Amino acid sequence: MKTLIKLVAIAAAFGLTPVTASAQEAAPATAAQTTNAAVAAASQTENAAEAGNAAAPSTTGLAPTPGIGQPDGRLGLPEQVSSIGQEAAGLNDRVLLPVAVGISLLVLALLLWVIVRYRRAANPTPSRTSHNTLLEVVWTLVPVLILVLIAIPSIRLLAHQYSPPEADVTVKVIGNQWFWEYEYPDNGIHLVSNMLTPEQAAARGEPRQLGVDNRMVVPTGAVVKVIVTSNDVIHSWGVPAFWVKIDAVPGRLNETWFQVDRPGVYYGVCYELCGPRHGYMPIAVEAVPPAEFARWVASQGGHLAGANAENAAAPAASQNSAESNTAATTAPSNVIEAAAEPATSNQGATR
C-alpha cells in the first residue's frame, strides 16, 4: 500500500511539473505581449503626431531664398539681416581683417629681412647690442594702439548686443534631445519643431537637414526677445544670419534678441554637442510682415497683445473686411483665468 501511495505521489509530481512550467512560460509571454502592444500604441501615436505636423505645419508657406539664411559655400561671414549682425560684420570686415592681415604681412617681412640680412654669409660678426630704446618704445606702443583700435568698436558692439531695446515679441526656446520647442507666452502658442526627412525637405524646396516641420515665426521690424533654456542637457540655439548664438542650459534662462527687417527663412543648428543625434535638430526662423504674423497667430489659435496688435492693425486696415476679420483675432475660448489661490500639492510629503 505504501508503495502504491509512493507511485501515485511520484506520478502526480511528474504530472504537475509541465503545468507549472507552462504557467511560468505563459507569464513572460503575456508580459512581452503587453509590452509590444504598448510600444505599438506609442509608435502609432507618435506616427500620427508626425503625420499631423507634416500635414499642417506651423509655417506661413514662405519659401527660402537660395544663398540667404543658409550655407551656400561662400568664404567669410554669411549675409547679415539684423542690425547687430551688420554691425558685427562691419567690425570684422573693416577692422579685424585689415589689422590681422597687416600684422601678418609685417611679421612676414621682418622675418624675411632678418633671414636675408643677418645670415652668416652676409653678417659674419653679429652685433652685441642688448638694448635699443627706440625699438622698445615702438614694440610696446604699437600693440597698445592696435588693441585700443580694436577695443572701441568691440565694446560698442557688446553694449548694443547685451543692452536690448524693449521687446515687441517674446519667444521661449527649449532644447530637448533632439528637437526644439517654441513658446509664445504673450500669444498663447506652443510649437514642437522636428527636422524634415530628406524627401519632405525636397518636396518643400528646403535644404537637406535644415528644414523643420514647425518654424519659429516672427514679425519683421519687431524686437524679438529670445529666452533660451533646456530640459535635459546643454544645447545651443543660434542663427548665423542674425548674429545670434546662446547656450541652452538646464535650470537656467539665458536671454538674447534680434530684429530682422527682411522677410525670409533663416536657418541654424544646435551648436553644442548634445548626444548622438546632435546633428539632427536644426533651427528655422521665418520672418514675415506684421499683418502676415497676425494671420499666422490666428491660425495657431493664439492672440495678439500689446505692440503686436497695434503693428498688425495699421497694414490690416487697408485690406478688405474678410482679411481684416481674419487678422483681427480675439483670445481663444479655452483660456482659463487664474484661480484666486494656487492649487496645493502633496509632492514631497511624507507618507
Question: DSSP string covering 214-242, please?
Answer: S-EEEETTSEEEEEEEESSS-EEEEEGGG
Tens digits of residue pLDDT in 16-30: 444 333 333 333 333
User: What letters, b where the CB count within 10 A reaches 16 and e where it falls short, cover 276-311?
Assistant: eebeebbbbbbbbbbbbbbbbbbbbebbbeebbbeb
pLDDT in tens, 98-125: 999 999 999 999 999 999 988 888 888 8
Show the cell assigned to 54.
507634416
- What fold, for 169-327? Immunoglobulin-like (2.60.40)
Check: CB of residue 196 under 8 Å from CB of residue 213. yes
Q: Which long-range contacts (CB under 8 A, 24 or more apart) does 124-133 make?
A: none
> What number is the average pLDDT over the span 113-141?
87
Report the predicted TM-score, pTM, of the whole model to 2 decimal places: 0.65
Instruction: Give me the sheet containing 254-259, strands edge to edge.
Output: 189-193, 179-184, 169-176, 223-230, 254-259
Of 128-137, 240-249, 298-307, the least confident: 298-307
Mean pLDDT computed over 326-335: 44
Q: Which residue has the higher pLDDT, 183 or 65?
A: 183
Share the mean pLDDT of the chain: 77
Note the pLDDT of residue 5. Answer: 59
pLDDT, mean of residues 330-343 = 45
